[in-house]
Amino acid sequence: MIEKILENLYRIEIPLPRNPLKAINSYVIKTPERNLIIDTGMNREECMKAMQDGLSELGVDLRETDFFITHLHADHLGLVSNLATNSSTIFFNQPDADRISGGFLWDDMINFAGKSGFPENELRAALHNHPGYKYSPKGHVTFHILKEDNTISIGDYVFTCVETPGHTRGHMCLYESGKKIFISGDHILHDITPNIQLWSNKENPLNEYMASLDKVYGLDIELVLPGHRIIFRNCKKRIQELKKHHQHRADEVLSLLENGGQNAYQVASRMSWDITYASWDLFPVAQKWFATGEAIAHLKYLEEKGMVQREMRDHTIVFSL
């Protein structure tokens, strides 16, 4: 599906089969001199066909096209190595580029998940069903690194880079102050909440995410172009809703710990999830993975605020009030 949003600015909806997100929004700015594609879809045939069909309909020549990728997740980055030509520039952020060049430390994540209570018999299945493991770009990708306040000019659009860590360490949005457009990637979505997860003891992504929401709140935005689902207005209202959601989440975690110490997997299994399965046991293993990662992020956030503590019990990390 192609939608014209503004002059020279289009949205191509790229399907994500058998994925709860359903689709990703890829934005295309087409000008006589140069084109820009923002986010691409996963490295899989269904995404490639939808992208090729959309670009063909718009008359986009990939030899005259650059790319901006909001963050490292496979649904945004996966196709870029298949689409970019020798004359393409791929704009990206430094923290996520470092993570890619350092190699995804899947074994470290699996090890930490095990210490967080994730059952041994489900760990490998969680890994092999992870979209980042299955659908990331193949081969080396050369990035042109952008930082806070750098700009991309294309046609009548001048986009300023806004660093918004949280969903990933390097997540980056684009702001067009003249037209009051905000391309939000997975930082702000309209009818779903971005997944904030953690698989180590080194970071505090939820704290970073909340700070990034505050940062964007100060911008004059009329139209939000998100990575998934519908385009929307009233960005400030949505930011308030997202902050309230995570505060409710944190309060829920604290109330669960009133029953005694638990590992992150146990906490996740007792949290309320907006998903159509009768019980935690029926959750697909990939959804258990995302839920547990989100529980860890909230537990770390509360730990840094001095509201919960951790200890090791029988090789498992246990949190208590």
Alpha helix locations (H) across the chain?
A: 45-58, 74-77, 80-83, 94-101, 106-115, 120-128, 131-134, 205-217, 235-257, 264-270, 285-304
Q: pTM for the complete prediction? A: 0.94
Q: How many CA atoms lie within 13 A of 210 on its CB side?
A: 12
Radius of gyration of the chain, Cα coordinates, nearest whole angstrom: 20
* pLDDT at res. 1: 85
Ordered structural domains, the chain, with CATH: 2-320 (3.60.15.10)
Instruction: Give the pairing of strands 2-6 and 9-15.
Output: antiparallel
Q: Is 84 helix (H, G, I), strand (E, B) or coil?
A: coil
* pLDDT at res. 181: 98
* pLDDT at res. 100: 87
**Which amino acid appears at position 89 of this protein?**
T
* pLDDT at res. 126: 74
Q: What is the pLDDT along the chain (321 residues), one digit of tens a residue?
A: 899 999 999 999 999 988 888 999 999 999 999 999 999 999 999 999 999 999 999 999 999 999 999 999 999 999 999 999 999 999 999 999 998 887 666 778 888 999 999 998 887 777 776 776 677 787 788 999 999 999 999 999 999 999 999 999 999 999 999 999 999 999 999 999 999 999 999 899 999 999 999 999 999 999 999 999 999 999 999 999 999 999 999 999 999 999 999 999 999 999 999 877 889 999 988 889 999 999 999 999 999 999 999 999 999 999 999
* pLDDT at res. 118: 92
